Chains A and B, each alone.
Chain A
Amino acid sequence: MDKIVLFIENLIKESRMNTKIDRSTSLFLSGILDSVAGLKLIMFLEKEYNFDAATIDFDINKLDSIELISQYTGSKP
C-alpha cells in the first residue's frame, strides 16, 4: 500500500498541486488529479496488482481515494 501512496503523491507533485492528502481524500472528483493521472494510476495498478477493471460498472471514481483503491485492489491500506 505504501507503494500506492507514494505513487499518488508523485502524481500530485506532477500536477503541481500543493495538496496534502489522507486515506479518504477525494482525488478525481475534487480535481486534484486529472484523467491523465487516472491513466497512469490504472497502468500502475495493472502492473503492480494485476488489476483488471474491464468490467461493465468500472468508473474512475471507484478509485477516488486511497481507501477506495485499497478496497478495489484488495491491498491493505
Chain B
Amino acid sequence: MDSSNLRRVSIQILICLFAIFVLNYVNQAVAISVGLAAIALIFFGQYRWQILILSGLLVCLTTFSNIQPSNKFGSTKIDYSTYEWGLIILFWFSILYLAIRYIAPKLEKIISKIFYPWIIFLVFTVSWFIVNYSYKHGYSFGYYIYLPCSASVVSYIAAFYHWKFFYKIKDFPKLFAFLITPWIGRYTFPLPDQPQILFKHMQDFDLYRSHIKAAKVFLIVFALEVIRLIMDATFFGKETIILGFIELNPTSYYFLTIKEALSEISRGTVIKPLDAWIIVILDFIYRLVFLSNKINALIGVAMLFGLPLELNTKNVFKSRSLLDFFGKFNFYYKEVLLNYFYYPIFFRLKMLSPGIRVVVSAFLTIGLANYWIHFIWNTFYSRGQSPFGYLIYSINYLIYALLLAFILSFELFISLKGRRVSYPPIIAFPICILVYSSIRVFDDPFLGNVVNNLKLFLMLFNL
C-alpha cells in the first residue's frame, strides 16, 4: 500500500466509525431487519464480503445495544446500553496495524519484553494508575476516548495475543487492503469447482472459508443473544423484549440477580437454600451466555479479516472436568494465564517435587495472578478510589480467585497422581455449573461488603 492508499484506508475507517455511531441510534428494528436480509443473501448465494462485514457490524450493534425497554421498577424508557466492544477494538486493531507496520520489526523485542511474565505485573499496575487517573480527569472528553485507553480492553485484546506479531501473517497487507478497499487488485487462487460455481467472484479459498465460518459464528451469537434476552425477560424482570418489529411480553418470574440478592441480604433478608441456588445458577448461566456472545462476536469480526482464531467460548457442554470447563469457558484468558504466568512460574520452580511444583504454580497463577489482573482491569468500579481503597473494595474477588485456585489446583494435583478427574460431559457439566455458580457469589467486585457475599455463600448450604 502506498501512502495515498493508507490515507484512503484511514479515511474509510473513520467514516465507518462515524457510521457506526450514527447507526447506533437508529431504530433497532432497522438494524435487525437489514441483518436478517444480509444473512438471507448469504444463504441464497449472493456472497459478498461487504454484506458479511455489514452483517458483522449489525450483529455487534444488535448484540450490544439492546433492548431493555422496561424494568420491574416500571420504567418504560428504552435503555440502550452501548457496548460496541467489538467495533471499538476492530477500529483500534486496524489503526494499530497501520501505525506499527513500518516499525514493527524493531518493536518486536520490546513487545516480547512487555509480555515477559514478571514485567506484565508492572505493566498492568502502571496501566491501572494511568487509567484511573484518566478516568478521574478525562471522562468529560468522552466515553469513547476513555474506553480504548482502558485497561479493560487489555483483556479483550488478549484474544489476539496469538497474533501479537500479526504483521508477519503472509500477505496480510494485501488482505487488509482488499478488505478495506475493494477496488485494489486481489484474488490469485483458483477455488475448487463447487464453490466457484456458487460464488464465482470469490476466489481466495482461505478467506472464503474464514468468511463462512464468521457467518456461522454470527448466527450462533445472534441465537444465543436471543436466549440471553429471553432469560432477561423470564428470570430477571425485564418485562418486554423488542426484537425488530416483534414485541414480546413473556411472564417474568423475577428472580434476583446476585447483585440484587446481596442488596437484599444487606437489609437482613434470609434466602432459602433452593432460592439461593436458583439465583446463583441463573446468574452464572446468564454470565456464560453474555461473555460468550461478547467475545465470540469480536472473534467473528476478526474472522472477516481472515484471522484463523478459535472461538473464546466453545463446547462448554462437552466439559469433562472443572479445569476443562475453565478452558472452554474463556479460552483466551486461560491461554494468557497459562503462557504468561503458569509455564514461566512452573519452569522456575524446578527445585520442588513435581506434585508441589504443579500445585504451587497453579495456585500462584489462578489465585494471585488472576486476582491481580482483575484488580487492575476492573477500573469501572474504582472511579477515583485509592489503590488501597480499591483493594479493600475488591477483597471478595480475592476470595473468588483463591477458591478457584484451590479447586483447580486440587483437581490438577489428583490428576497428576493418576486419579480420575475426567468424566463424561453428562456428569461433569452439571457439576461444573454447580461449582462455578457457587463460587460466582464472590466473582467481580459487587457493590457492598464482603460479609454479604459470605452470607449468601453460606445460605447455599443452609448455614
Contact = CB atoms under 8 A, between A and B. Distances in A.
A56 B165 CA distance: 14
A54 B344 contact: yes
Given A35-B338, A36-B415, A39-B358, A56 B323 contact: no
B404 to A, nearest CB: 15
B422 interface: yes
Interface in A37-69: 39-40, 42-43, 46, 52-54, 56-60
A44 B29 CA distance: 58
A36 B420 CA distance: 13
Contacts of A40: 416
A75 interface: no
Contact of B339 (A29, A36, A59): A59
A20 B450 CA distance: 50
Contacts, number: 44
A34 B347 contact: no
Interface residues of B, number: 25
B112 interface: yes
Chain B interface mostly helix, strand, loop or mixed? helix
Given A39-B358, A59-B339, A54 B327 contact: no
B323 A54 contact: no
Contacts of A54: 344, 347-348
Contacts of B51: none
A58 B112 contact: no
Contact of B347 (A16, A29, A52): A52
Nearest to B345: A54
Given A52-B347, A53-B343, A56-B113, A35 B323 contact: yes
15 contacts: A16-B320, A29-B310, A34-B323, A34-B324, A35-B323, A35-B338, A43-B354, A52-B347, A54-B348, A56-B112, A56-B113, A57-B112, A58-B344, A59-B339, A60-B339
